[in-house]
Amino acid sequence: MKQTVYLEDRGQDFLEWDIEDGVVVGCRPFQAWSWKGTKVHNESIQPGDILSITPPVTGVLTTLNYPVERVITQLGRAQLSTYHGAMGQSQRGVDCVCGGLSIFYSWSWAGNGKARCWHCGAWISWPDLEVRQDLRKGSARLVEEAVSST
């Protein structure tokens, strides 16, 4: 699983971490040399969480002082389905990784190039169909509600 974690800005030199299978693989905008390879021990990461980490520089288990503000999780790739609606080409059926089918009009993607799955609330981008869950502080409950209503 691949996640991008945005940390609360308290004046530190790094604000974003890419975490893959529990290891930091990217760090922005600075200090990648210091944090790449850091082990992240949290089983799941939510906005508001404090990360429990072992940086390679010290090899010592510690906690990061900057709370998580936002988490983007790559869930995989959706598939275009064979849905043919009454309005033909202006609609596309998309099978999300959650198993739910959403019907999007072409203008659903307009502007920011992404539309929200009707079932799990994840964002599906066009045209690559990457499915991402985007949790920000204060929005976590909203997404949970969308999931439980399916």
Residues that bind Zn ion (CB under 5 A): 96, 98, 100, 117, 119-120, 122
Nearer to Zn ion, 55 or 93 (CB): 93
Smallest gap from residue 71 Cβ to Zn ion (A):
17
What b/e sequence results for 51-63 when a residue is b if at least 16 CB atoms lie within 10 Å of its CB, and e otherwise? bebbbeeeeeeee
Nearer to Zn ion, 19 or 122 (CB): 122
Q: How far is the C-alpha of 69 from the C-alpha of 77, rounded, in Å? A: 25
Write phi, then psi, for 20 (nearest 5 degrees): -125, 120
Nearer to Zn ion, 71 or 120 (CB): 120
Smallest gap from residue 119 Cβ to Zn ion (A):
5
Q: With H, G, I as helix, E, B as strand and everything else as coil, classify residue 13.
A: coil
Smallest gap from residue 122 Cβ to Zn ion (A):
5
Cβ contact 137:70 at 8 Å: yes
Write phi, then psi, for 33 (nearest 5 degrees): -60, -30
Smallest gap from residue 137 Cβ to Zn ion (A):
22
Nearer to Zn ion, 51 or 96 (CB): 96
Q: How far is the C-alpha of 138 from the C-alpha of 100, rounded, in Å? A: 25
